[in-house]
């Protein structure tokens, strides 16, 4: 089970790169990809990694289908790659 942020960030980037540009992935999906059995414990680290990647401009965090401020969001969220159109 990867527990360091760099490994989690790399996994998130790899998972997103394997999907079409408009596809988003949920926090639970990301955590389960990291550790199918222990995923609930990884959710806070997945969120932290997603926030860091969003602040670096490498992904977008969505809530209810709309981009959110990575430093101020609550509830269910998803991530996707930034669009360059």
> 23-68 pLDDT, tens per residue?
899 999 999 999 999 999 999 999 999 999 999 999 999 999 999 9
User: How far is residue 47's CA from residue 24's CA, in Å, rounded to a whole number?
Assistant: 14
Does domain 5-79 match CATH 1.10.1240.10? no
pTM for this one?
0.89
Contact (CB, 8 A) for 80 and 16: yes
Q: 60: which 2 tokens?
A: 């977008």
Model confidence over 66-78: pLDDT tens digits? 999 999 999 999 9
Whether the per-residue pLDDT at 6 is higher than 80: the answer is: yes
Residue 1 and residue 33 in contact, taking contact as beta carbons nearer than 8 Å:
no
- List the domain boundaries for the chain: 5-79
DSSP labels, 12-57: HHHHHHTS-TT--EEHHHHHHHH-TTTHHHHHHHHHHHHHHHHHTT
């Amino acid at each position: 089970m990867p527990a360091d942020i760099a490994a989690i960030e790399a996994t998130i980037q790899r998972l997103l790169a394997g999907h079409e540009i408009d596809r988003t992935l949920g926090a639970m999906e990301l955590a389960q990809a990291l550790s199918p059995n222990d995923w609930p414990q990884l959710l806070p680290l997945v969120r932290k990694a997603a926030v860091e990647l969003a602040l670096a401009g490498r992904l977008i965090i969505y809530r209810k289908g709309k981009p959110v401020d990575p430093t101020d969001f609550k509830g269910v969220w998803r991530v996707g790659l930034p669009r360059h159109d």
